[in-house]
Structure 1
Amino acid sequence: MVVKADRRVVKTKQIIRKAFADLLVTKPIDEITITDIANGANINRKTFYNHYSGVYQLLDEIEQEIVTAFAADLAEFDFDQYLTNPTVIFKKIQAIVDQNYGFYKNLFARSGDTNLLSKIATVLSAKAVSFFENKQPNDHAKIRVIADYTIFGMMAVYQGWFNSDYQLNIDELDQLLNQILVNGIQRIIAEK
């Protein structure tokens, strides 16, 4: 039997999240207080504490929902396609980000105290390990290293690109990542 959430609780949490999202556009996460959120949501601090123990619990709940939605999108994800076009993953992440750019910009910022990209990378890495183990079932240790190196590296690249540390557009980034995946780093450096 599925228990429905009380509509008042759902509405209050939505108001709290909206106030938090609005604050993220203008403040780093570590500077947002419960009072800021309560004032933005037009509630008192006690109401906030009825739902969350603090800002980071609220952040964690939001991140977990994003990761769960991302994992559901990956259910039919084809890692063979990823190997020839890594920006498929970037485009999935960017579609999420585009829904509320200001909110996600702060979540993805290097200075933000968030684990969202790491959580997404963990989901992707597990999916990659499962995919590659179907092709090479006896090499779990090697597959794990390859998956983690590739996926966590890709997430670091995405975060750097998102934060505009790279002077590449998404197509140039895609081309470079494809070259790295197909040819390796030494060959690319040797070509320069």
Structure 2
Amino acid sequence: MEKRTSEDLRVRKTKEAIRTAFQGMICEMDYDQITVKELTARAQINRKTFYLHYNSLDDLLAELQEEIAAQFLQREVSYGNMEEIQDLIRLFFQQAADLPLLHERMICSGSYRPVWEAVNQRIMDHRRATNRGVFGLDEYAENLVFAYYGANSAILYRQWVADGKQLPLEELIQMAIRLICYGMASVVPHQEPSQDLPTV
């Protein structure tokens, strides 16, 4: 039993070293620049040891992706009214403002955006399934609402990061709530439209 425990501890430490090295590399470089050779050098293991735990770097990235998604999926949320949606937007940006560099890179850096998009798709698929019918729309119209909501929070966060986070967090949250909940009409001076807007 003692031998099994020491083996398990060694496996955990090895995987932790691999993941720590991988996360550090994500913070420093694009994904296509990461190599197993450099990762194993940083983790102070050999290539054979790496391949005992992972078939490829893609498998390691997928594991990280799953963990990020799980953090969001464990929280039950509701889109039942505008107040709840505003609370969700506030929560997202408050959490995003405190994200470690690793997560910021995953959301904002060009080479990692497909990873975040996959995470976001998984989250929004779950949200749509658990809140089906909440908007009183047919399935396809509801899909558009969730796609709109899911995409725009990340877009606004990316722009905030690109601007060096110059806008105070509370102003960011208020602007995000206005844009996401009320669209462009909330910030563009009112003018009579040249043609009637369609209604849902």
TM tier, smaller = 0.7 to 0.9
Identity among equivalent pairs (%): 22
Deviation at 1:69, TM superposition (A): 2.2
Task: Please report the TM-score for the alignment, with normalisation by the length of structure 2.
Answer: 0.76
Matches within 5 A, 1:3-82: 6-72=8-74, 74-75=75-76, 77-79=77-79, 80=81, 81-82=83-84
Judged with a 3 Å threshold, the aligned counterparts in structure 2 of structure 1 residues 184 and 134 are, in CA distance, closer, same or farther, namely closer
1:62 partner amino acid: L
Q: Please give the alpha-carbon distance, in whole angstroms, between the structure 2 residues aligned to 1:179 and 1:103.
A: 28
Any idea what the Cα deviations from partners look like across 1:85-106, whole Å, max 9, x if unmatched? 42222224445x2xxx232233
Deviation at 1:56, TM superposition (A): 2.2
1:130 partner amino acid: T
Deviation at 1:182, TM superposition (A): 4.0
Residue 90 of structure 1 corresponds to: 93
Q: Please give the alpha-carbon distance, in whole angstroms, between the structure 2 residues aligned to 1:122 and 1:146.
A: 13
Matches within 5 A, 1:129-140: 130-131=130-131, 133-134=133-134, 136=136, 139-140=138-139
Q: Please give the alpha-carbon distance, in whole angstroms, between the structure 1 residues aligned to 2:101 and 2:165.
A: 20
2:18 partner amino acid: I
Residue 174 of structure 1 corresponds to: 173
Task: Please report the TM-score for the alignment, with normalisation by the length of structure 1.
Answer: 0.78
Q: Please give the alpha-carbon distance, in whole angstroms, between the structure 2 residues aligned to 1:140 and 1:65.
A: 29
* Kept after mapping to 2: 8 A contact 1:125/1:148: yes
Query: Number of matched residues?
Result: 182
Over the aligned positions, Cα root-mean-square deviation in angstroms equals 2.8
Any idea what the Cα deviations from partners look like across 1:136-190, whole Å, max 9, x if unmatched? 2x52211111111121122222233234367533222211222224433134212
Q: Please give the alpha-carbon distance, in whole angstroms, between the structure 2 residues aligned to 1:146 and 1:59.
A: 29
**What stretches of structure 1 move > 6 A for 4+ residues in a row?**
none
Q: Please give the alpha-carbon distance, in whole angstroms, between the structure 2 residues aligned to 1:105 and 1:111.
A: 11
Structure 1 unmatched runs, 5+: none
Matches within 5 A, 1:121-160: 121-126=120-125, 127-128=127-128, 130-131=130-131, 133-134=133-134, 136=136, 139-160=138-159
Any idea what the Cα deviations from partners look like across 1:2-41, whole Å, max 9, x if unmatched? xx99433222111100111222232222211101110011
* Kept after mapping to 1: 8 A contact 2:97/2:169: no
